[in-house]
Each structure stands twice: as C-alpha cells, then as structure tokens.
Amino acid sequence: MKFPEYKNLDLVEVNRKVLDKWQKENTFRESLRLREGAPKFVFFEGPPSANGMPGIHHVMARSIKDAVCRYKTQAGFKVERRAGWDTHGLPVELGVEKKLGITKEDIGVKISVEEYNRTCREEVMKYTKEWVSLTDRIGYWVDTDNPYITYDNRYIETLWYLLRDIYDKGLLYKGYSIQPYSPAAGTGLSSHELNQPGCYRDVKDTTCVAQFEIIRDAKSEFLFKDTDLPVYFIAWTTTPWTLPSNTALCVGPNIEYVCVDSVNPYTKVPARYVVAKLLVSAHYNDKNPYTVCEGSIRGSELAGIRYRQLIPWMGCPGDAFRVITGDYVTVEDGTGIVHIAPTFGADDDKVAKAYGIPPMMVRDRAGNNQAMVDRTGKLYRIEDMDPEFVEKYVDVET
C-alpha cells in the first residue's frame, strides 16, 4: 500500500483530502458491507441534545468513541454505529419557556399541552444541521441518516418494555438518592444541568457552629475528666437549615482533637468543647477565656460516642446520634467535626449508610417519605403536619 508524501504539511488540506476520498468511495458503508455476517459489536451514540451548538469537548469524546469502533471493525466485527438525539431534559423545557415567555403553571392554561410539546420538539432539534456538519468534518463514522430519537414512541415504549422485563426478573428495588432540586421547575437536577451557564452565583450566607451535647456514659467518661461541666462537640456548617435533620457527627479517624474549657459565646455559660487541635485558635480567643485541656484524642477514639439530638422535635428510628469516622474530614476550616444530615448531602448519605445511620424522614400528607423541608426549602407547613403533633409541639401563635 502506498501513502502520499507531504512535503509541506498542511493538516487542514490533509483532512479535506481524506474526507473527500472517504466520501467518494463511500468508505464507511463499505466497511459495513465487508463485515456482513461477522459478529456484531453494538454501538449506540450516547446521544447529544441538538438544542445547543456542539463544542470542543464533543470532538474529544467522539474521537475516543470513533477509535474504539474502528478498532473493533479492524478486529473483525461488524460495527453499525447508530447516531441518536437526546430530546428530553430540563434545559430543553427551560429554553422553550423562556422563548414563549411562560412558566410551568402556564402550560394547559395560556398554551395547550400539544403546542408546548410541538415547540419543544422543534427547539430540541434546532441545531441538527450543525451537529451533522461537525460529525462529517471530524471524520466521525456514525449513521446520522437513521438516528434514534428519544421522543419517538418506539424508543419510549422500548424503555418501558425493558423496565418491565427488569422488574419481572426482580432486579429493581426502591431506594433513595440525594439530588439537587429545582423548586421553579418542580424536578430534580442532574450534574450536567447544574453546570449550565447561570446556575451558580456568588452570595453571602449565614454559617453556623452548633453545639451537640455529649451523653455521659462509660464510653465518653474520659471527656468529662476533672470537670462537672457539660461537654459538647461543636460542628461548623454552611447549611444551617439542615441542622434539624442531623443524625450523626463525623470525625477524621487520624485527626487530633482536644478538649477546651471555655464559655458559650452567647450565653456565657461555662462548658467543655471538643474540637480539632489545629482549629482551636479559629474559635477561641481572648474575648472568651479558655483553657486547652492536657492531652489529645485521636478521632478513632471518639467513634461511637453518643450525643443528644440537637432539636428533639421528632424521633428518629434506628441507631442515630452518634459519632462516626470519615477520611474526607479535614482541618482546613470549620472544627474538624462534620454535621451529617443524610437527607441533604450525597456524601452525608453515603457515609451514613456505611455506618447504618438512618436519615431523618417524615411522611407528607400523601403518605410519601420526604426530607424535612418542602419544595421551596422551608420546613413543613403546619397544615401538612399531624394535628396531634402540632398540638403537642408547635406554638401556632408564633
């Protein structure tokens, strides 16, 4: 086989000549014809959404996919690469709502469901030509003439069929995961959606250092040495609204902790506090007299110590309100003790499950398990609570 010699390397010209040759000789289709009857290597394009322009990251990803498919072809497989279009998702809906000047509540009122769906279908395929052009220009071999489209009923019915088949085999289970939630859109958000332009903005917010009173027993007795003061773990959090859902505290197993005798900075009541040794100066200074107790404690020694529920407004089934350990705890800031609310953070949920710590869940009016907030970030409305609970615990006047 002879290869052309390039005395003056021009990559753009090389690219053009190769693409022209492939197009004239119909090389992609020919590679499939030559493998007729061979074992199949199945490839469906992880579908992009054509409601936005392609970027350089798409070129990089497709180069990797193309290399795999070409390798499998050379290895003797027939590789029918089928393109696809992802036509579902929040970015499409938000784009259409912005275009039409409506909100979710307007669908079926100011605009019919049929008109809304039709506009979504048009919008989601808006940049199809640009995608196909890019596909051809980068030499990505994939069948764009017969793509699968996720809004097509054949695709949707196939998914339902597969889900039923998986269910019949007993391979589905009901569980809970932690997801960001959009009150405006009324849906959970994916990591991709969280990275859309405009999703984040810098704001000033309140942080909190909370005190968790340690239960005095045989396991925690060493923390009460030479004192009659109450002893507290202190944990810093940037999400104080999650504190009612606290069910555990997490310490670094190899981090050094100390006891500090001081006073509550607000009430001036004397107490003993457990904090990471390297972070003492971040919380105690000359404004409040303090004494660092002799000796230090490894985080692993604190594991299993129990504390009182911070806000005992409702019970929590299971083995909650105890100290666990996690390698992700640091002493870069905070107190070296992490407040764990499994219903609010993916990391919290993961470490809590590993130690058998239950989440703080309540049932809403429909009987469904929910975290302890409604869909706007507030605690549950009084009318959604059990009347007996309201009568016993809630001061309605305030």
**Structure-token pair, residue 296:** 């230090």
| 270 within domain boundaries | yes
| 321 within domain boundaries | yes
Residues 148 and 78 in one domain: yes
Residues 143 and 277 in one domain: no
Residues 26 and 164 in one domain: yes
Residues 272 and 156 in one domain: no
Residues 134 and 220 in one domain: no
CATH number at residue 235: 3.90.740.10
pLDDT in tens, the chain (398 residues): 677 777 778 888 889 999 999 999 999 999 999 999 999 999 999 888 888 889 899 999 999 999 999 999 999 999 999 999 998 877 788 888 888 999 888 999 999 999 999 999 888 888 999 999 999 999 999 999 999 999 999 999 999 999 999 999 999 988 778 888 776 677 778 777 777 777 777 888 889 999 999 999 999 999 999 999 999 999 999 989 889 889 999 999 999 999 999 999 888 899 999 999 999 999 998 877 899 999 999 999 999 999 999 988 777 778 999 999 998 899 999 999 999 999 888 889 999 999 999 888 766 666 666 655 555 545 566 777 778 877 776 665 55
Residues 216 and 129 in one domain: no
| 3 within domain boundaries | no
Residues 333 and 220 in one domain: yes
| 202 within domain boundaries | no
Question: What are φ and ψ of residue 232, in 5° steps?
Answer: -130, 145
Q: Which residues of 133-153 are buried (b: 16+ CB within 10 A; e: fewer)?
A: ebbeeeebbbbbeebebbbee
CATH number at residue 25: 3.40.50.620
Are 220 and 287 a contacting pair, CB within 8 Å? no
Beta strands in 69-109 (DSSP E): 81-85
Residues 282 and 234 in one domain: yes
Spatial CA neighbour of 86 closest among 140, 128, 50: 50
- Please count the structural domains in the chain: 2
**Residue 141: which domain range?**
11-87+125-170
Task: Please report, to the nearest 10 degrees, the dihedral formed by the alpha carbons of residues 290, 294, 299, 300 taken in order.
Answer: -150
| 220 within domain boundaries | yes
| 386 within domain boundaries | no
Spatial CA neighbour of 258 closest among 338, 335, 339, 340: 335
Residues 234 and 132 in one domain: no
Are 338 and 329 a contacting pair, CB within 8 Å? yes
Residues 153 and 262 in one domain: no
Say whether pTM exceeds 0.95.
Answer: no
- Angle (deg, nearest 10), helices 56-74 and 128-137: 50
| 175 within domain boundaries | no
**Structure-token pair, residue 192:** 């991709």
Residues 343 and 283 in one domain: yes
